[in-house]
A and B are shown apart, each in its own frame.
Chain A
Amino acid sequence: MARIGVFICHCGENIARTVDVAKVRDALAKHPGVVHSVDYRYMCSAPGQELIREAIKERGLTGVVVAACSPHMHEPTFRKACALAGLNPYLCEMANIREHCSWVHDDREKATEKAIELVRFLVEKVKRNRPLMPIRVPITKRALVIGGGIAGIQAALDIANGGYEVILVERQPSIGGHMAQLSETFPTLDCSQCILTPKMVEVRQHPNIRLLTYSEVEDVKGYVGNFEVTIRKKARYVNEEVCTGCGACIQRCPQKRIPSEFDRGLGRRTAIYIPFPQAVPNIPVIDREHCAYFRRGGCRLCEKECPRGAIDFNQQDQLITEKVGAIVLATGYDLIPSDLYSEYGGGRYKDVIDGLQFERLLSASGPTNGEVLRPSDGKEVKSVVFISCVGSRDRSKGIPYCSKICCMYVAKHAILFKHKVHDGQAFVFYMDVRAAGKGYEEFVRRAIEEEGVVYLRGRVSKIYQQDGKLIVRGVDTLSGVPVEIPADLVVLATAIKASDGVTELAQKLGVPVDAHGFLSEAHPKLRPVETQVAGVFLAGACQAPKDIPDTVAQASGAASKVLSMFAQEAIEREPTIAKVNEQTCVGCFECQRVCPYRAIERKEIRDRQGNLVKVVAYVNPGVCAGCGACTVACRNHSVDLEGFAEEQMFAELNAIVAA
């Protein structure tokens, strides 16, 4: 016999102002099967929960319906309360009479009627609830970090220091990411490589970290705690075990004019190369597309030069399969192409460059040894114009967001330029100056007050060449005058976008991306380092434009989620998942076809002699998310959802119709 308890919350004024809770309580008291019906001001409070616990014990309740806010808010709260009182938590449900009723209606009479109906049909459902036990899923306590920039490095170190194995995968030949390309970081003007390389070396030397560079994740199968990843380790054509990083091969290589990716086209490299001197690992890689041997045969001078015989032109890509329990995405960012604006030259002017290119000019290990010289003719730069918001905050280019870090790095660039060229002139065209971090506002004031950088408020309409200078036509809206500046160099603060290839990777993992290609966090306010996919976490600029302190913090945050997962014996999952009735299942696998989570597997039913009787569908309890698509697809009702069974659903519908 059902003995259901109904608890109606006022939620202060939120529900009680529109819904007559007393009337609801009285109506439900008369409903068949309901033996206890009360109302209270704040059910989620300690006394509110106490009411439930007492009622369960004293009235011998077999089920509980709490009529209040959305289950998203407090289902765990009330289920825990029931569990404490000895009632299986899955015998407790919530009727949403707030978001679905009091918050969306004005008419008190009608809203009250609706609330009564809502609670009634939940009662009918709960009468048919079965007690369920959470599913325990084993965990492989090894993590995979995708991306070897500062975010990936920090996350890997934190997890490794927590005592667990980490595989760090980076698609470039070296870890370090964009931070390795910077000359100095704001607001302290620390040398970027100097603060980064210790961490890079720590990664290399850490006993718990397996570093796979020049590698990419090819496929991901499985589910939280039990992922199986396939990683393609691309052929470097250099034997890592043997190579000492002496660099003799690089000296010898005759292909010396290849534009360097690390220097963003401003410098040159050889076909066999190490991207930058402090690269980790310090092992060269051969660029197939430009290597003379691969293109036309012959050469192989590096092989002859190598004292250790480390060059191996027959090396193949390796496919490595690993089992991991958690994945951290730290794939970073890229800049939009700097030729996007035809009014800024559309890429025709060599002396119109982007922020990362300017970093390489500033960098002591860069293509100009730290001197600020024009890419076109190598002449000294005496006047430089920095333009903020190139692409960002631009509806017409489809990039409405702010790239967050540019205001700061533009100030930094201007300061560093003035340090290097004492008699130089620096101008900044800005729309707003966003300097919200610690020490940031002071840093920008320093650029203006101490270094004499001229800040002009307005955008630039056009850049063109005249007499060897770049004429920048902008405006200062504060004084209302158009402004023309003849510059030697123009640096565009181009918008930040997600790294190339991230959308494809996200699809493999089932992680959503937002309208701009950034990876989506599970909740923008409260769950910034998790994704909707259990076991997959985020860190750094792959989620949204971000500076280094926030990136490092987020990376440690993601690592802590991994560590708290690994600290448990097993993962507990909600048991409200699909279940196949193997007696009636005919093995048509329509369910498998519609399952968005790839949770349906094939299961062979054999007799005692081992003969195959039939193949049926089987729901993997570790993966199934309980969406119910399979229950719709199944033609003979062989799949049902625990806790949301067909019988329960029809009971709800009948309750509404009957009323």
Chain B
Amino acid sequence: MKQSTEREQFTPTDETPIVLTEEARRFTQEVIRRSGERVDWCYQCGKCTAGCPVAFAMDIEPSRVMRLVQLGQEERVLKSRAIWLCVGCQTCTTRCPQEIDPAKIMDTLREMALEKGLVADREVATFFRSFLDNIRRHGRLFEPALVLQYNLRSGHLFQDADKGPLMLLKGKLPLIPSRNGAIVQRICEALEGRKK
């Protein structure tokens, strides 16, 4: 806890009440359409939150993310860190009594956040980007390059530096990358072509 010698100025938070308009409904419908999941069936039982291994780290827990989607709160949801922390372990999907797949909805929300340039968790997004760039270049993940690129891009330059020599010694670090990046490259180009 930061101890301050000066009395901090109290600033009331600017949380406006949720205004439910037609616009709000549009976001909910879009999430339903793109994910193929009936988030409107969620009755907030919380079983997803109860079983989520990373809920403790989330700013908005999974069941509340679902609720905010139901209320059309695009900004709050897409700006949340929670959607980036989800690891896709499928515990929620397995246990949801309404047969909704919250993990799939998280995937969709991430996609939508990226489209809007909203990334609340720089580290995770950087990791994903580094991974996908890597397989685009090499076809198969070239692990050393992934770690180096991530460290550089994220600014955590010395993360896991202690592991490097050990991994090398154990022969766990490949030195030559694969050479069938072209296959993945073609796929990515085809996907980009579609977007246009």
Contact = CB atoms under 8 A, between A and B. Distances in A.
B48 to A, nearest CB: 8
Contact of B91 (A431, A461, A480): A461
A245 interface: no
Interface stretch (A4-12, A388-396, A540-548): A388-396
Contacts of A431: 43, 45
A265 B61 CA distance: 40
Interface in A386-406: 389, 393-397
Interface in A442-461: 457-461
Given A431-B45, A482-B49, A477 B63 contact: yes
B112 interface: no
Q: Per DSSP, are chain B's interface residues mostly helix, strand or loop, or mixed?
A: helix
Contact of B49 (A393, A395, A397, A477): A477
A149 interface: no
A389 B43 CA distance: 13
A461 B45 contact: no
B61 A480 contact: yes
B79 interface: no
A482 B55 contact: yes
B45 A458 contact: yes
Contact of B95 (A389, A461, A476, A482): A461
Interface string A22-33: 000000000000
B47 interface: yes
A469 interface: no
B56 A395 contact: no
Interface in A366-412: 389, 393-397
A473 B46 CA distance: 11
A474 B99 contact: no
Interface in A325-368: 343
Nearest to B98: A395
Contacts of A389: 45
Interface range on chain A (Cβ under 8 Å from partner): 20 to 34
A587 B52 CA distance: 71
Given A460-B50, A482-B56, A477 B97 contact: no
B64 interface: yes
Interface in A477-496: 477, 480-483
B148 interface: no
Contacts of A462: 50-51
A397 B97 CA distance: 7
Contacts of A460: 47, 50
Given A474-B50, A475-B46, A475-B49, A459 B97 contact: yes
Contacts of A396: 96-99
A394 B50 contact: no
B180 interface: no
A343 B52 CA distance: 13
Contact of B46 (A343, A393, A397, A458): A458
B52 to A, nearest CB: 7
B44 to A, nearest CB: 6
Contacts of A481: 61
A334 B63 CA distance: 32
Contacts of B91: 461
B162 to A, nearest CB: 32
A480 B52 CA distance: 13
B64 A459 contact: no
Interface in B20-61: 41, 43-52, 55-56, 61
A475 B55 CA distance: 10
Contacts of B95: 343, 461
Given A343-B51, A458-B46, A475-B49, 16 more contacts: A343-B95, A393-B43, A395-B97, A396-B97, A431-B43, A458-B50, A459-B97, A461-B50, A473-B50, A474-B50, A475-B46, A477-B44, A477-B46, A477-B49, A477-B63, A477-B64
Interface of A: 343, 389, 393-397, 431, 457-462, 473-477, 480-483
Top 5 A-B residue pairs of the complex, sorted by shortest distance between their CB atoms: A461-B51, A458-B46, A461-B50, A475-B50, A475-B46
24 contacts: A393-B43, A395-B41, A395-B97, A396-B96, A396-B99, A458-B49, A458-B50, A459-B97, A461-B47, A461-B50, A461-B51, A461-B95, A474-B50, A475-B47, A475-B49, A475-B61, A476-B46, A477-B44, A477-B45, A477-B49, A481-B61, A482-B49, A482-B56, A483-B50
